[in-house]
């Protein structure tokens, strides 16, 4: 990386430290911009990556999408172009050099706006590709990123300039080696656009059973075509995708409420508590009760540290 990139990353690190102050994920005065800080390697953490651009300033992270591994550091950026259930782990961090990262969320309409302003002719017939990718970062993108973050020191400028800088950042992604992947999620009629509709349906109705024919109708595809394109985009089948969402939500409920596993299993859509327990153990490594006990002990240790 160039000397200028190192300089900007140093400035970004100071800004993230200043506006974070402690470990965790922090919102900012700029809508859709978040900072993350971790002083130790942690994880794995389970969650859904919504459409977003992630840049690491210090440290390293590993993201698992189904069985695919994406590792990135300050030389790269990661993009998720649709909602994706993942397992993420900070693998390089220390109290002296904490993990510091920047996340900028975006919407399909914002991508469309950039495509229109740049007069980029998008082809809705392009092949579907994985909705997560890692690309090398360059000075033009980091230049736009640093100008966006500097607005935090001048909040009166945010309403006017933040949308412009965000457009510039998205334009740089669209001009990059995987720009076509991002473009396809916003182009009505593209395979990725139609799979995004199916993903939204599953996300909103994860606790309900569905027939694959219902999903193929939503996507206006045959059943075989839906399976093929869904797996191309998400690295998993619709059933596997739903299972990940159900289990992540179940874990959240168990951690935040005083309730038992059987009750939660029914609430997230399982008909058999024993099946729920088996699948929960397979994903998280322990049965529900033991896993939640472990998580609470970890949280207490962090609170008391």
pLDDT for position 243: 97
What is the domain partition of the chain in residue ranges?
A: 3-184, 241-304
Predicted confidence at residue 248, as pLDDT, reads: 97
For position 8, what pLDDT does the model report?
85
Strand pairing report for 52-58 and 76-80: antiparallel
- CATH code given to domain 3-184: 2.60.120
The C-alpha angle 171, 174, 178, rounded to 5 degrees, equals 155
CA quadruple 6, 9, 13, 18: dihedral sign: positive
What CATH number has the domain spanning 241-304?
Answer: 1.10.10.60
Q: Could you tell me the mean pLDDT of each successive run of 10 residues in the chain, 305 residues long? A: 82 95 95 96 91 97 96 96 96 96 96 89 76 95 96 97 98 93 90 95 96 96 96 97 98 90 96 96 95 84 56
Coil vs helix vs strand at 238: helix
Nearest to 53 by CA among 134, 159, 154: 134
């Amino acid at each position: 990386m160039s000397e200028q990139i190192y300089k900007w990353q140093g400035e970004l690190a100071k800004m993230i430290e200043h506006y974070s102050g402690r470990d965790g994920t922090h919102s900012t005065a700029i809508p859709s911009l978040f900072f993350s800080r971790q002083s130790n390697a942690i994880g794995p953490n389970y969650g859904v990556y919504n459409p977003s651009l992630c840049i690491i300033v210090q440290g390293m992270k590993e993201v698992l999408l189904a069985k695919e591994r994406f590792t990135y550091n300050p030389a790269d950026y990661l993009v998720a172009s649709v909602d994706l259930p993942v397992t993420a782990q900070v693998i390089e961090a220390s109290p002296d050099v904490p993990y510091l990262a920047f996340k900028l969320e975006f919407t399909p309409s914002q991508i469309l706006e950039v495509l229109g302003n740049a007069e980029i002719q998008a082809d809705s017939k392009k092949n579907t590709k994985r909705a997560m990718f890692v690309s090398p970062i360059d000075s033009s993108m980091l230049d736009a990123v640093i100008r966006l973050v500097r607005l935090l020191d001048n909040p009166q400028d945010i309403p006017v300039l933040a949308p412009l800088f965000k457009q510039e950042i998205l334009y740089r992604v669209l001009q990059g080696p995987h720009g076509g992947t991002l473009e396809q999620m916003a182009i009505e009629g593209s395979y990725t656009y139609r799979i995004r509709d199916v993903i939204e349906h599953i996300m909103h109705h994860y606790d309900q059973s569905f027939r694959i024919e219902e999903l193929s109708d939503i996507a206006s595809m045959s059943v075989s075509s839906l399976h093929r394109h869904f797996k191309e985009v998400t690295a998993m089948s619709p059933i596997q995708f739903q299972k990940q969402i159900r289990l992540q939500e179940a874990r959240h409920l168990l951690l935040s409420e005083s309730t038992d596993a059987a009750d939660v299993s029914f609430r997230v859509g399982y008909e058999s508590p024993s099946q729920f327990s088996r699948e929960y153990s397979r994903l998280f490594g322990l049965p529900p009760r033991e896993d939640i006990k472990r998580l609470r002990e970890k949280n207490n240790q962090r609170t008391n540290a």
